[in-house]
Amino acid sequence: MKATMSPLYLVGLLLLGLVCGIHAEDDVCGDTDQATYRPCPTVGLPCVRNYLQVRSACQSFSDEDRDSFVGSPVDLYAANFNLSAVQTNILTEGFSNARLFEFTVNLEKDLIVLTVEYTNLTLKNHYDYSYFQPSEEPITFQEYSTERYPHLYITSYISGVNNPQWASAYHVHYQEGTVEMSYERECVDENDGVLDAVLKDVRANIDIVTREVFLYRNQQIQEFFVKRNLCNFLQ
Protein backbone atom coordinates (compact mmCIF):
# COMPACT_ATOMS: atom_id res chain seq x y z
CA MET A 1 0.00 0.00 0.00
CA LYS A 2 1.34 3.42 -0.92
CA ALA A 3 2.05 5.62 2.11
CA THR A 4 0.41 9.05 2.22
CA MET A 5 1.04 12.10 4.39
CA SER A 6 -1.84 13.45 6.46
CA PRO A 7 -3.10 17.01 5.79
CA LEU A 8 -2.05 18.12 9.29
CA TYR A 9 1.48 16.82 8.69
CA LEU A 10 1.58 18.85 5.48
CA VAL A 11 0.43 21.92 7.40
CA GLY A 12 3.34 21.41 9.79
CA LEU A 13 5.79 21.20 6.92
CA LEU A 14 4.31 24.34 5.39
CA LEU A 15 4.69 26.30 8.62
CA LEU A 16 8.30 25.20 9.05
CA GLY A 17 9.09 26.13 5.46
CA LEU A 18 7.55 29.58 5.84
CA VAL A 19 9.52 30.30 9.00
CA CYS A 20 12.66 29.34 7.11
CA GLY A 21 11.73 31.55 4.17
CA ILE A 22 10.93 34.61 6.26
CA HIS A 23 14.27 34.37 8.06
CA ALA A 24 16.41 33.45 5.07
CA GLU A 25 19.23 35.68 6.30
CA ASP A 26 19.81 33.21 9.17
CA ASP A 27 21.23 29.73 8.80
CA VAL A 28 17.68 28.52 9.14
CA CYS A 29 16.44 24.97 9.59
CA GLY A 30 19.63 24.23 11.50
CA ASP A 31 20.48 24.23 15.17
CA THR A 32 18.62 27.49 15.84
CA ASP A 33 15.29 25.73 15.22
CA GLN A 34 15.81 23.94 18.53
CA ALA A 35 14.97 27.28 20.17
CA THR A 36 11.34 26.93 19.03
CA TYR A 37 9.03 25.72 21.79
CA ARG A 38 5.42 25.79 22.97
CA PRO A 39 4.96 28.02 26.03
CA CYS A 40 1.51 26.41 26.32
CA PRO A 41 2.03 22.65 25.75
CA THR A 42 -1.64 21.93 24.94
CA VAL A 43 -2.17 25.21 23.02
CA GLY A 44 -5.00 26.01 25.42
CA LEU A 45 -6.83 29.29 24.86
CA PRO A 46 -6.52 30.61 28.47
CA CYS A 47 -2.76 29.94 28.56
CA VAL A 48 -2.08 31.56 25.17
CA ARG A 49 -4.30 34.50 26.10
CA ASN A 50 -2.35 35.04 29.32
CA TYR A 51 1.01 34.79 27.51
CA LEU A 52 0.00 37.48 25.01
CA GLN A 53 -1.79 39.79 27.42
CA VAL A 54 1.12 40.15 29.84
CA ARG A 55 3.35 41.12 26.89
CA SER A 56 0.99 43.31 24.84
CA ALA A 57 -1.00 46.51 25.26
CA CYS A 58 -4.43 44.86 25.26
CA GLN A 59 -7.75 46.63 25.74
CA SER A 60 -10.80 45.09 27.39
CA PHE A 61 -12.67 42.61 25.21
CA SER A 62 -15.66 43.99 23.36
CA ASP A 63 -19.16 42.70 24.13
CA GLU A 64 -19.87 42.56 20.40
CA ASP A 65 -20.80 39.39 18.53
CA ARG A 66 -17.82 37.03 18.36
CA ASP A 67 -19.15 34.85 15.55
CA SER A 68 -19.30 37.36 12.69
CA PHE A 69 -18.10 40.74 11.47
CA VAL A 70 -18.27 43.07 8.48
CA GLY A 71 -14.83 43.69 7.01
CA SER A 72 -13.39 46.76 5.34
CA PRO A 73 -13.16 46.88 1.52
CA VAL A 74 -10.20 44.94 0.13
CA ASP A 75 -8.43 45.12 -3.25
CA LEU A 76 -8.03 41.62 -4.71
CA TYR A 77 -5.83 40.45 -7.55
CA ALA A 78 -6.01 37.18 -9.49
CA ALA A 79 -3.11 37.68 -11.87
CA ASN A 80 -3.37 34.18 -13.35
CA PHE A 81 -6.81 35.11 -14.68
CA ASN A 82 -6.16 38.80 -15.53
CA LEU A 83 -8.75 39.83 -12.94
CA SER A 84 -8.80 42.40 -10.18
CA ALA A 85 -11.65 43.32 -7.86
CA VAL A 86 -12.71 45.52 -5.01
CA GLN A 87 -14.32 43.26 -2.41
CA THR A 88 -16.95 44.82 -0.17
CA ASN A 89 -17.65 42.40 2.64
CA ILE A 90 -21.29 42.10 3.60
CA LEU A 91 -20.68 39.50 6.32
CA THR A 92 -17.99 37.03 7.44
CA GLU A 93 -19.31 34.41 9.86
CA GLY A 94 -18.46 31.10 11.47
CA PHE A 95 -15.85 32.17 14.04
CA SER A 96 -17.53 30.08 16.73
CA ASN A 97 -16.11 27.05 14.88
CA ALA A 98 -12.53 28.41 14.93
CA ARG A 99 -9.87 27.08 17.30
CA LEU A 100 -6.21 27.61 18.09
CA PHE A 101 -4.20 25.02 16.18
CA GLU A 102 -0.60 25.97 17.05
CA PHE A 103 1.30 28.52 19.13
CA THR A 104 5.09 28.57 19.31
CA VAL A 105 7.84 31.06 20.09
CA ASN A 106 11.48 31.17 19.02
CA LEU A 107 13.65 33.20 21.39
CA GLU A 108 16.67 33.31 19.07
CA LYS A 109 14.62 34.60 16.13
CA ASP A 110 12.39 36.70 18.41
CA LEU A 111 9.35 35.28 16.61
CA ILE A 112 5.86 34.15 17.59
CA VAL A 113 3.98 31.76 15.27
CA LEU A 114 0.23 31.49 15.80
CA THR A 115 -2.09 29.31 13.70
CA VAL A 116 -5.90 29.33 13.82
CA GLU A 117 -8.01 26.58 12.26
CA TYR A 118 -11.30 27.76 10.73
CA THR A 119 -14.09 25.31 9.89
CA ASN A 120 -16.96 26.28 7.58
CA LEU A 121 -16.00 29.95 7.51
CA THR A 122 -18.54 31.78 5.32
CA LEU A 123 -18.00 35.05 3.45
CA LYS A 124 -20.77 37.06 1.80
CA ASN A 125 -19.29 39.67 -0.53
CA HIS A 126 -20.03 42.16 -3.26
CA TYR A 127 -17.36 42.48 -5.97
CA ASP A 128 -16.54 45.18 -8.50
CA TYR A 129 -14.47 43.30 -11.08
CA SER A 130 -12.16 44.40 -13.87
CA TYR A 131 -11.06 41.92 -16.54
CA PHE A 132 -7.96 43.04 -18.46
CA GLN A 133 -7.64 42.09 -22.12
CA PRO A 134 -4.56 42.61 -24.31
CA SER A 135 -4.85 45.92 -26.22
CA GLU A 136 -8.44 46.39 -25.05
CA GLU A 137 -10.24 48.44 -22.44
CA PRO A 138 -10.98 46.49 -19.23
CA ILE A 139 -14.40 44.88 -18.95
CA THR A 140 -16.06 45.77 -15.65
CA PHE A 141 -18.91 43.95 -13.96
CA GLN A 142 -20.37 43.32 -10.50
CA GLU A 143 -21.20 40.18 -8.58
CA TYR A 144 -22.62 39.04 -5.25
CA SER A 145 -21.30 35.79 -3.84
CA THR A 146 -21.52 33.49 -0.84
CA GLU A 147 -18.38 31.44 -0.22
CA ARG A 148 -17.99 28.66 2.34
CA TYR A 149 -14.51 27.40 3.22
CA PRO A 150 -14.75 23.91 4.74
CA HIS A 151 -11.26 23.95 6.24
CA LEU A 152 -8.84 26.86 6.43
CA TYR A 153 -5.68 27.54 8.43
CA ILE A 154 -4.31 31.07 8.85
CA THR A 155 -0.85 31.45 10.35
CA SER A 156 0.50 34.72 11.75
CA TYR A 157 4.20 35.49 12.16
CA ILE A 158 4.66 38.14 14.84
CA SER A 159 8.02 39.67 15.69
CA GLY A 160 8.76 40.36 19.35
CA VAL A 161 8.50 37.40 21.74
CA ASN A 162 8.22 39.72 24.75
CA ASN A 163 6.73 42.72 22.93
CA PRO A 164 4.56 41.43 20.05
CA GLN A 165 4.54 43.76 17.05
CA TRP A 166 0.96 43.17 15.92
CA ALA A 167 0.92 45.96 13.33
CA SER A 168 3.70 44.35 11.29
CA ALA A 169 2.49 40.73 11.59
CA TYR A 170 2.64 38.63 8.42
CA HIS A 171 -0.25 36.26 7.62
CA VAL A 172 -0.44 33.24 5.30
CA HIS A 173 -3.07 30.56 4.78
CA TYR A 174 -3.48 26.92 3.87
CA GLN A 175 -6.78 25.78 2.37
CA GLU A 176 -8.28 22.27 2.44
CA GLY A 177 -11.36 21.00 0.65
CA THR A 178 -13.37 22.51 -2.18
CA VAL A 179 -14.83 25.97 -1.68
CA GLU A 180 -18.61 26.07 -2.02
CA MET A 181 -19.57 29.20 -3.93
CA SER A 182 -22.86 30.64 -5.16
CA TYR A 183 -22.95 33.89 -7.08
CA GLU A 184 -25.18 36.35 -8.88
CA ARG A 185 -23.82 38.52 -11.66
CA GLU A 186 -25.13 41.97 -12.47
CA CYS A 187 -24.40 44.84 -14.84
CA VAL A 188 -22.93 42.58 -17.52
CA ASP A 189 -23.97 41.46 -20.99
CA GLU A 190 -24.88 37.80 -20.57
CA ASN A 191 -24.03 37.25 -24.24
CA ASP A 192 -20.48 38.55 -23.90
CA GLY A 193 -18.57 35.54 -25.18
CA VAL A 194 -15.16 36.77 -23.99
CA LEU A 195 -16.30 37.36 -20.43
CA ASP A 196 -18.36 34.18 -20.28
CA ALA A 197 -15.30 32.16 -21.31
CA VAL A 198 -13.17 33.82 -18.63
CA LEU A 199 -15.73 33.26 -15.89
CA LYS A 200 -16.19 29.65 -16.95
CA ASP A 201 -12.44 29.19 -16.50
CA VAL A 202 -12.60 30.89 -13.10
CA ARG A 203 -15.45 28.65 -11.90
CA ALA A 204 -13.62 25.54 -13.09
CA ASN A 205 -10.55 26.60 -11.08
CA ILE A 206 -12.26 28.21 -8.12
CA ASP A 207 -9.90 26.67 -5.54
CA ILE A 208 -6.90 28.19 -7.34
CA VAL A 209 -8.62 31.58 -7.54
CA THR A 210 -9.63 31.63 -3.89
CA ARG A 211 -6.15 30.60 -2.74
CA GLU A 212 -4.71 33.47 -4.78
CA VAL A 213 -7.09 36.18 -3.56
CA PHE A 214 -7.21 35.00 0.06
CA LEU A 215 -3.75 36.49 0.54
CA TYR A 216 -5.49 39.86 0.70
CA ARG A 217 -8.15 38.72 3.21
CA ASN A 218 -5.97 36.99 5.80
CA GLN A 219 -5.22 39.97 7.99
CA GLN A 220 -8.77 41.12 8.74
CA ILE A 221 -9.99 37.59 9.50
CA GLN A 222 -7.06 36.68 11.75
CA GLU A 223 -7.14 40.00 13.59
CA PHE A 224 -10.84 39.56 14.34
CA PHE A 225 -10.18 36.18 15.98
CA VAL A 226 -7.19 37.48 17.95
CA LYS A 227 -8.98 40.62 19.15
CA ARG A 228 -12.08 38.70 20.26
CA ASN A 229 -10.30 35.78 21.92
CA LEU A 230 -6.67 36.54 22.79
CA CYS A 231 -5.67 40.20 22.89
CA ASN A 232 -7.72 43.20 21.83
CA PHE A 233 -4.49 44.90 20.85
CA LEU A 234 -4.02 48.58 20.09
CA GLN A 235 -3.37 49.41 16.43
Domains, the chain, ranges and CATH? 7-233 (3.15.10)
Confidence of residue 65 (pLDDT cuts 50, 70, 90): confident
What is the signed CA dihedral for 200, 204, 207, 212, rounded to 10 degrees? -40
Q: What dihedral angle (degrees, nearest 10) is formed by the CA atoms of 116, 118, 124, 126?
A: 40
The b-or-e profile of 26-49 (16+ CB within 10 A means b, else e) is eebeeeebeebeeebeebeeebbb
Identify the weakest region by mean pLDDT among 22-31, 59-68, 167-176. 22-31
pLDDT recorded at residue 98: 96
What pLDDT does residue 110 have? 96
pLDDT band at 192 (very low <50, low <70, confident <90, very high): low
66 confidence band (pLDDT: 50, 70, 90): confident
* Confidence at 223, pLDDT banded by 50, 70, 90: very high
pTM of the model: 0.80
